[in-house]
Amino acid sequence: MQMAMGTTEKPTAIRLWAFPGPCAPTAPTGLPPDPIQKIIAGDGRQYDKRLCSISEIEDCIPSGSPLLKTASFGSPTTLYQRLSFAMRLSPDSNTSLIGRRRGTPRKQNLVLNQKSILVLAALCAAIFLMGLVVGTHIFGTPNSNATNNSNNNGESQHKNAESSPLAAATANKHLSENIQNLILESAKAELIEKQQHEQEVEALKHGNVKEALHLKGMQAPGDANYNPHHAVDDVAQLEVPLNEAVEVGEGDGAMYAGDIGDHVLHEEEKKEIPKMELIEKEDMHNHFAEAVKNEAVESEKKKSLREKLHDLKAEAAEVVKHGLRGAIGNIQNKVTTDSKVDFVKGESSYYPYMTLPVPENYDFKKYEPLGGGRFAEYKDGDSPYAITDKLKEQSDELARSRRVHVLNAMKHVWKNYKEKAFGSDELHPISGRVTQNWGGMGTTLVDALDTLWLMGLKDEFWEGRDWVRDKLSNTPSGDVSGFETTIRSLGGLLSAYDLSGDKAFLEKAEDLGSRLLKAYDTKSGLPHGSVNLQNGASHNFGWFGNQFVLAEVGTQQIEYRYLSHATGKDEYAKKADRVFDILYEIMPEDGLLGEGLKEDSSGGAFFSKGKVSFGAMGDSTYEYMIKLWIQSGRKEQRFREMWDKSMNGVHSQLVQKSNPNGLTYLADRENGRLNHKMDHLACFMGGALAIGAYTDPMGLDSVRAQRDLKTAKALTYTCYQMYARSATGISPEFVQFGGSNDFSIPSSAPFYILRPEVVEAFYYLSALTGDPIYREWGWEVFQSIEKYCKTEYGYGSLKNVDNPSMPPEDRMESFFLAETMKYLYLLFDPDSEIDILNKHVFNTEAHPLKVFKDSN
């Protein structure tokens, strides 16, 4: 049978036939016996060979088809199951009644209803009965026709002819009654449906998604058989936009949004993070319920919060795009937290920044820096959120997924270093060339040994050990920097020995230490800056006026003390300690030391440069004050005394606040005047102040310890902003404070040489406080390094952090592997053997060494 479907243009011919049934005429001759076998459109294109499913009805019926208006198909019934459609399309059509053309996007599911079924049933019944009546009227009943054909009896024909009008009238009467009954049933069904729809709308107005779903005959949250993974499909049946159901903000609407978030995350997890255990749904609901219970937002504020929710949803879409997926429920919680007045100081019960584990195939090239000014509740060093054990567990699980990416970064560098520069001082990350700029002592290899160990790259570690044992020479031609060689090479060898116990490292360390110690053969006992490891000749640098540099003379004692401890020879510690004997004697009342020294005629020394800085010339001497006290088992009190005195001076003289946002920073001081500049190097103070506070003999709750910890957090927030506010998300060498925007990047300082001090502070504060925020900031920094610094053979420095289009440069310092990569890895490694509070102390090159006795 054929049926025409009218359109505004040329009618589209439709062929309709069905499986056997009361409404199913026989398929026309010449057509396939089974319409599902092969469907070809009028333009020759082949379509899916399948019967439409309930969820794909709209895909199967052309847009604008009269069938949509007069014969909408309802839930699966015998009538629907027996019908199958095929259509020959006009060349400009893309839709088939059998199914979608391959590659055609799926349209939104059609909502089906009971009334449509009854209407269609009525039409089919009417057509069938009319055909029966007409056939009876014209041809008679089957029995009369048979009698007529067999007997050819005229009387019988006359009786049949007389009875035909009566049969037709009877049939018409029954037909009329049936049609009336069908129409009545259809009207009743329409009325019931209208009432049900009104009840659903009323329920949704009050945020009662659960009641609306029950009206639909579906399960809802709290029901025994409720399945949260069906949330998306269930809400789609409610005939209201999902965002309206979510934004009601009352009742269980937002709770249902949490289940929808669960469903989205579940689907993402199946594709990207198999077997990764998500935050339990029950906890997510509890977080939301608690936040809603405690929220006291006035009515005029709710509108702005909903607008904020809309913006956060857009932000969440970006997050999903880059692999940092978040649920609608989490975003709702974040809005609830933001509604508290300006993050009132004190501890809140909900931490709003937790994200989900990172997939292993995360594409860092798609990362875009998120900008500065965020997380302002941390800028003054406050602790705005309660750090619970549950929160720490969630943070640890997230950290482990990030740790994998830092490990992969290290593998990328080491693979190329091994292939192109093994045993050389430095590998150039773009050209692949090698440089022997530290005397050819394998500086990158020795500097990175303990990083390999802590990352579990033991095969690579032992390959490095073999090179050290068999090929490392401590007698390069020419002079070397005593300071740099001590912190990088001597520190690296001692740390490798401390971690592995392999004597080959200690033997090489003792040989190197005895050669470096020649630099201490001066009138005062302060070590010269440069030393020849072959003949022991030493001198200071002309570029610094032949003076002693504070940071260099005061940053070798941890290494020499450990060497004495490991070898049993006290000469190393005694010579190195002479420096602090002098500094202790000449320390000014405010505890702030000048960055240059000269010897006096009596064998002592004095400060020849009055500039006070926590940048390149002074920084690490302060660092070693607190760390030498910790290394001694917290016994040698003069180191702690010097540290506390210096920190009093820092707070009274150097700690400053910026305009307009009140960022905390450390200024330099020269000739009694402040220079409002802070180096990237000075950001180590966030970690140093924190470890000083947590080990304060007066207790962490003391006024002094709380002052130092608060400053540590505030400084670290400022250092994070130095990264976040640049176009690449990476900090310049230093910033200048002043003006109307807190700080700016001077034209002489836009470069970045892969420095570690900021991620070092993140690591210390994360390990000591447990606050997950430092891992969030560290992850942003790592993503920017991956995107803007990664090269074919390693990672290169940046010439201008405010120019994202500028490629990295062909230089990779050894401290990138020794410090930056190590601190990033430890930041995301909750399972590390390192214990900075009780068992280990890092030298200034991030080489961990055990304290002489576990501190309590």
Residues assigned a catalytic role: 484, 619, 733, 757
360 Cβ partners below 8 Å, 6+ apart?
A: 404, 405
Q: What's the CA gap between 28 and 425, in Å, rounded?
A: 86
Q: Cite the DSSP H helix spans in 295-359.
A: 299-321, 328-338
Tell me phi and psi for residue 18, to 5 degrees.
Answer: -150, 170
Cβ contact 654:713 at 8 Å: no
Alpha-carbon 719 to chain mean position: 21
CA–CA distance, 540 with 483 (Å, rounded to integer): 11
DSSP β-bridge partners for residue 679: 734
Element (H, E) at 539: strand 538-539
For the chain, counts of helices (H) and of strands (E): 30, 20
**Which residues 6+ apart lie within 8 Å of 306 measured at CB?**
247, 249
Distance CA 609, CA 593 (A): 9
For the purposes of burial, counting CB atoms within 10 Å of the CB of 236, is it exposed (0-12), middle (13-18) or buried (19 or more)?
A: middle
Hey, what are 658's tokens?
């910026």
If you count them, how many residues does the chain have?
Answer: 856
Structure tokens at 322: 């880059």
In 361-502, DSSP assigns E strands to 426-427, 434-435, 479-481
Residue 337 among known ligand-binding residues? no
Which stretch of DSSP H or E encloses residue 393? helix 389-420
Tell me if 548 sits within 8 A of 605, measured CB to CB: yes
> Which residues partner with 850 through β-bridges?
840
**In 3-state terms, the chain is what percent helix, strand and coil (to 5)?**
50, 10, 40
Cα(520)–Cα(762) distance, integer angstroms: 35
**Phi, psi (deg, nearest 5) at residue 581:** -60, -45
> Cβ–Cβ contacts within 10 Å for residue 166, how many?
9
**CA 546 to CA 596: how far, in whole Å?**
10
Instruction: Check if the beta carbon of residue 515 is closer than 8 Å to that of residue 562.
Output: no
Q: Which helix (H) or strand (E) holds 119?
A: helix 114-139
Q: Which helix (H) or strand (E) holds 16?
A: strand 12-18
DSSP letter at 517 equals G
Distance CA 494, CA 473 (A): 16
What distance in Å separates the CA atoms of residue 828 and residue 407, rounded to the nearest whole number? 10
Q: What 3-state class would DSSP assign to 40?
A: strand
| Gyration radius of the chain over CA positions | 40
Cα→Cα distances 294→213, 251, 339, 412, 578, Å:
27, 15, 11, 49, 60
Q: Is 239 left (phi over 0), alpha (psi -120 to 50) or beta?
A: left
Cα–Cα dist 783/365, whole Å: 9
Q: Which residue has the tokens 């002098």?
A: 582
For the four alpha carbons of 42, 45, 50 and 53, in that order, the dihedral sign comes to negative
Q: What contacts 24+ positions apart, CB below 8 Å, involve 240-246?
A: 240/201, 240/204, 243/310, 243/313, 244/204, 245/204, 245/209, 246/309, 246/328, 246/332
- Could you tell me which residues are annotated as the binding site for Ca(2+)? 844
Question: Which parts are annotated binding residues?
Answer: 844
